[in-house]
């Protein structure tokens, strides 16, 4: 009986983690790690992806080590964030697709990326980006953001998410509450965004409110918002941001995932084990730990220890694990593995991706030409108006 309780606890704590690892094939070491932790999911990067068949087999082998359906995750936005570039060819960036102004292409962007993910064995894509394209973050976010207008960002994201869903892939809006005003890269440093809550709600957070019922997951950023929290606590460790604002005020009900807890932006505030405990304690559900085995083990061990010694945290961790398992049960169809892709199927995906990229390129050029033509027309009319002789005033 005691061993059964221990096993249930092991599975429960593991459901709070999505982990990454090195290598392109299953090893005894990786198998042992997965069997011990029983994570909610795994995430692959370009370092893990060599061929379509190899990637599919690696994800299948990961699933064999875990007793619950796995979230098999990837970051694939298109443009600069594209883990399949060397395998299938480049996917258009969000900003290029948005520049076409065609909602059908926004949808097709999600569906094309989703079908590629699904064929290789992935069921979660950590996209789309909902950050706004403000000048402050231009050097950091570049082509990952589509517009400074929250309604435009939500329109693109809504269609992209629907395309992913058609392909059988779960999406994730990121990076709550918004990195649009961030001047630093949270991979390396802690961005400090000193913007009042009222303005954040009207701008950066608005897409999350608009899409709260359509987002399977929301990823929380490692940025500080001192005007809101009164300190430099990253949003990913803040109960005010996660439990109070995202859950209660916005009314978001699905899964909340951290950005990678190995990133410099959060490690500046807490070591990784403590960060994992604080994220779950603040109301999060899934800790993302993307690289080092020692970091994964530290996060798992600290979560387990905190759940054992602190009954309040234990209840919070159990609540998060239950939310994950209930979500998996509801999404069972999407979490089933697709058949292994044939060489012909991979070639077809690559060709369709290229065709979509060409369509985006041509539509973008056409829209730019039309915009120039319309602008020239306005300028010409204005010039003609300026050249018209002014009517003479009648003599008295």
Boundaries of domain holding 142: 2-387
- Could you tell me the two tokens for 306? 């905190």
Q: Is residue 304 within 8 Å of 294, Cβ to Cβ?
A: no
Active-site position among 151, 187, 188, 377 = 187
User: Which residue has tokens 């999600």?
Assistant: 110
pLDDT for the residue numbered 277: 97
Q: Is the peptide bond before 9 cis (omega within 30 degrees of 0)?
A: no
CA 82/CA 42 separation, integer angstroms: 17
Helix (H, G, I), strand (E, B) or coil at 258: strand
Position 383 in a domain: yes
Helix axes 272-281, 311-330, angle to 10 degrees: 80
- 40 DSSP assignment: S
Reply yes or no on whether 259 is catalytic.
yes
Position 49 in a domain: yes
CA atoms within 13 A on the CB side of 25: 4
Q: Is residue 76 within 8 Å of 113, Cβ to Cβ?
A: yes
Q: What is the CATH number of the domain that holds 118?
A: 3.20.20.300
pLDDT for the residue numbered 26: 97
Instruction: Report pTM.
Output: 0.90
pLDDT for the residue numbered 369: 82
Reply yes or no on whether 75 is catalytic.
no
Position 393 in a domain: no
CA distances from residue 35 to 11, 21, 292 in whole angstroms, order as listed: 10, 14, 17
Position 351 in a domain: yes
Nearest to 218 by CA among 127, 140, 154: 127
DSSP string, 341-356: PPHHHHHHHHHHHHHH
> Would you state the torsion angle of the CA atoms of residues 72, 170, 266, 37, taken in this order, to the nearest 10 degrees?
-30
Q: Is residue 219 within 8 Å of 172, Cβ to Cβ?
A: yes
Active-site position among 75, 131, 204, 259 = 259
Q: Is residue 251 within 8 Å of 259, Cβ to Cβ?
A: no
Position 392 in a domain: no
Position 256 in a domain: yes
Can you list the residues of the chain whose pLDDT is less than 70? 1-11, 371, 373-396
- Could you tell me the two tokens for 217? 């997951």
Position 252 in a domain: yes
Position 362 in a domain: yes
Q: How many domains does the chain have?
A: 1
């Amino acid at each position: 009986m005691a061993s059964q309780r221990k096993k249930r606890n092991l599975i429960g704590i593991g459901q709070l983690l999505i982990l990454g690892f090195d290598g392109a094939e299953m090893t005894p070491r990786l198998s042992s790690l997965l069997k011990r932790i029983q994570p909610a999911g795994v995430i692959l990067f370009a370092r893990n992806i060599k061929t379509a068949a190899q990637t599919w087999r690696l994800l299948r082998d990961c699933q064999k080590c875990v007793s619950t359906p796995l979230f098999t995750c990837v970051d694939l936005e298109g443009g600069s964030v594209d883990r399949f570039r060397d395998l299938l060819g480049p996917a258009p960036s969000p900003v290029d697709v948005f520049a076409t102004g065609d909602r059908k292409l926004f949808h097709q962007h999600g569906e094309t990326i989703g079908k590629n993910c699904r064929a290789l064995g992935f069921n979660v894509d950590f996209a789309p980006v909902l950050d706004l394209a403000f000048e402050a973050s231009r050097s950091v976010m570049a082509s990952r953001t589509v517009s400074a207008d929250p309604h435009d960002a939500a329109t693109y994201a809504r269609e992209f998410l629907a395309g992913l869903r058609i392909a059988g892939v779960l999406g994730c809006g990121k990076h709550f509450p918004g990195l649009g005003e961030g001047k630093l890269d949270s991979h390396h440093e802690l961005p400090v965004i000193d913007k009042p809550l009222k303005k954040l709600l009207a701008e950066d957070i608005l897409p999350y409110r608009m899409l709260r019922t359509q987002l399977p997951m929301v990823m929380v950023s490692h940025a500080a918002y001192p005007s809101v929290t009164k300190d430099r606590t990253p949003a990913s460790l803040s109960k005010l941001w996660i439990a109070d604002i995202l859950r209660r005020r916005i009314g978001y009900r699905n899964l909340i995932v951290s950005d990678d807890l190995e990133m410099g932006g959060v490690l500046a505030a807490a070591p990784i084990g403590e960060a994992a405990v604080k994220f779950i304690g603040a109301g999060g559900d899934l800790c993302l730990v993307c690289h080092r085995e020692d970091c994964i083990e530290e996060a798992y061990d600290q979560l387990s220890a905190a759940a054992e010694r602190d009954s309040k945290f234990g209840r919070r961790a159990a609540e998060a694990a239950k939310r994950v398992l209930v979500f998996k049960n509801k999404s069972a169809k999407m979490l089933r593995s697709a058949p292994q892709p044939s060489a012909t199927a991979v070639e077809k995906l690559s060709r369709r991706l290229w065709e979509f990229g060409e369509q985006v390129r041509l539509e973008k050029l056409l829209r730019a030409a039309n915009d120039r033509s319309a602008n020239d027309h306005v300028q010409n009319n204005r010039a003609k108006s300026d050249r018209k002789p002014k009517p003479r005033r009648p003599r008295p």
